[in-house]
Amino acid sequence: MKQKIILRVISKFLIPYILLFALYVQWHGDFGPGGGFQAGVIFAAGFILYAIIFGVDTVRVVIPAVVTRLLLVFGVLLYSGVGVAGIILGGNYLDYNVLAHEPTHGQHYGILLVELGVGITVASAMITIFCTFAGRGPEDPEEEV
């Protein structure tokens, strides 16, 4: 689809706003509708749109497989790490109250970090799944992930 100039221009124009909207959904998730999962999907949608228009190989230049893999891991570890921090600071697993001096602040930090972990993992999982399916030719069954 590289020759369709309208698609190229419009998608290039839209992608920053898609990513921005994803970040809004991510950070505003604890006050309004939204949260890590939705934000992750919207964020990944930006990359997937780019991949559809400019090709999977091009998007892999922007975000190589090694990066999505690290982010996948980082998100999960961020989530569970917040839980472990709760234990270390004297509460139970995933107890946000102990994360800051004030329980309400602790709650705030806790949910933001956990949702960030969810968002990162979901976004990188979506990108990985799309690229794995779309990029899988008959010749190269091994690479990806």
C-alpha dist (Å) from residue 86 to 53, 99, 109: 44, 6, 12
Looking at residues 80 to 99 of the shown chain, list those that interact with another protein (rule: CB under 8 A): 80-81, 83-84, 86-87, 91-97
Closest to 48 (Cα-Cα) out of 91, 10, 19: 19
CA max distance for the chain: 59
Q: Which of 22, 49, 56, 72 binds another protein (CB under 8 A)?
A: 72
- Measure the CA–CA gap between 5 and 138, rounded to whole angstroms: 30
Under the criterion CB under 8 A, does residue 139 sit at the interface with another protein?
no
Provide the token pair at 145: 């992930």
Stretch that binds another protein, among 9-17, 43-51, 55-63, 76-84 (CB under 8 A): 76-84
Please report how close the Cβ of residue 92 comes to another protein at its closest, in angstroms. Answer: 5
Please report how close the Cβ of residue 131 comes to another protein at its closest, in angstroms. Answer: 16
Residue 16 contacts residue 98 (beta carbons within 8 Å): no
Q: Under the rule (CB under 8 A), what is the footprint of another protein?
A: 69-70, 72-73, 76-77, 80-81, 83-84, 86-87, 91-97, 142, 145
